Structure 1
Amino acid sequence: MRIVLDSVAKDPRNAALPPTSLTFQTGQATLARAETEQRPAVLGLIASGRMRPDAGTVTIDGATDASALRRRVALIDATDVCEPAPDVTVAGIAAEELMFAGRSSSPLAVNRRLAELGASEFARYAIGTVPPTVRIRLLAELALMRKSVEGLVIVSPDRHGGDPVEWWRFARELAGRGIAVLIVAGDASAAAIAAESLVSRLDETGGPQTFDEDPGRDDTDALPDVVMTEPEQAEERA
């Protein structure tokens, strides 16, 4: 599955979303930068077929088919759109997702699924209190129970705090399982992920150590708007 956004924009003055182009596809994790309170959710809605852009095009496997896009791509944790209420328990969210997936949502089924995800200890926690990476992992894995879902659009995981490198690693794991993953996040997260990636490459190649000539300089404008990576297999993290 390959999804292409070509110069998509929202609202007459492009205030909600300026022209944005990106691609995400099966077996690849993609990070798209989007700042301001509104833009990440707008980009997520458009990328998952749940909002029509005012300009530009969105295609899935070369076709303009919003229905197929909505069916095959799940939107995860978009602010004011599909984020769970902070006081809902993890068990309650799991029960709802099991129901959406056409499975039993009994307490026994919920406990079994959370155990499979290694999240039994969080069953009675309100979702707003679980660690950020645990939250993203739970919401993503539960959405993937739906048979039609082949891709995920995860919106602003950085707003919950935590280390962006951790949820980016999880995104790469998902890609390694053949999932198309798009994460929409801010400049600070993109910078942290880019820095970690550079350090990893230098460690692998034994490349030269460098230093920042101006540590106080803001280099975020030098970051690419879209970062794509090959999937990370689970065994690589061992």
Structure 2
Amino acid sequence: MKIVLDSVTKGSRNAALPPTSATFATGEVTLARAETEQRPTVLGLIASGRMRPDAGTVTIDGNTDYGAMRRKIALIDAPDVCEPAADVTVGGIVAEELMFAGRPSNPIAVNRALAELGASEWGRYAIGTVPPTVRIGLLAELALLRKGVEGLVITSPDRHGGDPNEWWELARRLAGRDLAILIVAGDASAAAIAATSLVARLDESTAPRPAGAEDAAGTFDEDPGRDDTDELPDVIVATAHPEPELHATALAEDPE
């Protein structure tokens, strides 16, 4: 599956979203930069087929099909749209998502799902108190319970704090499960991820590399001949994690 956003805009004088282009595809994770309070959510809605742009085009596998996008792409944690209330317990969120997925949502089913997700210790915690990567991983896994979901659009994970490289690695592991992942985040997170990617690439340049090996740390979606230190790219793309791990690894953090 491949989603292409080409110069999409929204709002009077493009105030809600200036011209923005991004591509995300199966087996990859893409980070698209969006600043201000409103723009990340607008971009997330457009990228998941839930809002039509005022200008520009959005395609899925070469076709304009918003219905297919809504069926195949889950929108995750978008502010003011689908973010869970901060005081709702993790167990309560799991129960609701099980119901949306057409599965039993009784306490036994919830406890079983929490155990399968490696998140039993978080069941009684309010979602607003769990670590950012645990939150994102949990909401992503619950969305994937829905039939037909092949991609995720994760909106503003950086607003929860923490190290952006942690949820970037989580997203790469998800992409390794044949999913298409788009993350919409701000400049600071993009800069941190780009810096880590640059260091990794510099380290790799000093060691022998097998022919045809891909850069697992991430690449800038720009001219391959440009200097990545010239400016921060609008889009960062990484291939799937070289050794995808089960979701439980990302969720199993000590709640103290």
- TM-score normalised by structure 1 residue count: 0.91
Taking the TM superposition and a 5 Å limit, the aligned residue runs for 1:226-237 are 226-234=235-243
Q: Distance in 2 between matches of 1:101 and 1:94?
A: 10
Q: Which runs of 5+ in 2 are unaligned?
A: 208-227, 250-256
Residue 179 of structure 2 corresponds to which residue in structure 1?
179
Q: Which runs of 5+ in 1 are unaligned?
A: 208-218
Taking the TM superposition and a 5 Å limit, the aligned residue runs for 1:119-134 are 119-134=119-134
Q: Distance in 2 between matches of 1:124 and 1:76?
A: 21
Taking the TM superposition and a 5 Å limit, the aligned residue runs for 1:109-120 are 109-120=109-120
State the AA in 1 paired with 2:118: G
Name the SS for the 2:7 alignment partner: strand
Cα displacement (A) at 1:235? 5.7
What is the RMSD of the two structures over their aligned residues, measured on CA atoms? 1.9
The number of equivalent residue pairs is 227
Cα displacement (A) at 1:202? 2.5
Question: 1:87-120 CA distances to partner (integer Å, 9 max, x unpaired)?
Answer: 1100010111111111111111111111111110
Q: Percent identity?
A: 77
Decide whether the 8 Å contact of 1:191 with 1:220 is kept in 2.
Answer: no
Q: Distance in 2 between matches of 1:167 and 1:180?
A: 15
Residue 87 of structure 1 corresponds to which residue in structure 2?
87
Name the SS for the 1:36 alignment partner: coil
Residue 39 of structure 2 corresponds to which residue in structure 1?
39
Decide whether the 8 Å contact of 1:24 with 1:181 is kept in 2.
Answer: yes
State the AA in 1 paired with 2:237: M
State the AA in 2 paired with 1:233: P
Residue 17 of structure 1 corresponds to which residue in structure 2?
17
Taking the TM superposition and a 5 Å limit, the aligned residue runs for 1:44-59 are 44-59=44-59
State the AA in 1 paired with 2:174: L
Taking the TM superposition and a 5 Å limit, the aligned residue runs for 1:1-238 are 1-206=1-206, 222-234=231-243
Q: Distance in 1 between matches of 2:204 and 2:9?
A: 39
Decide whether the 8 Å contact of 2:89 with 2:125 is kept in 1.
Answer: yes
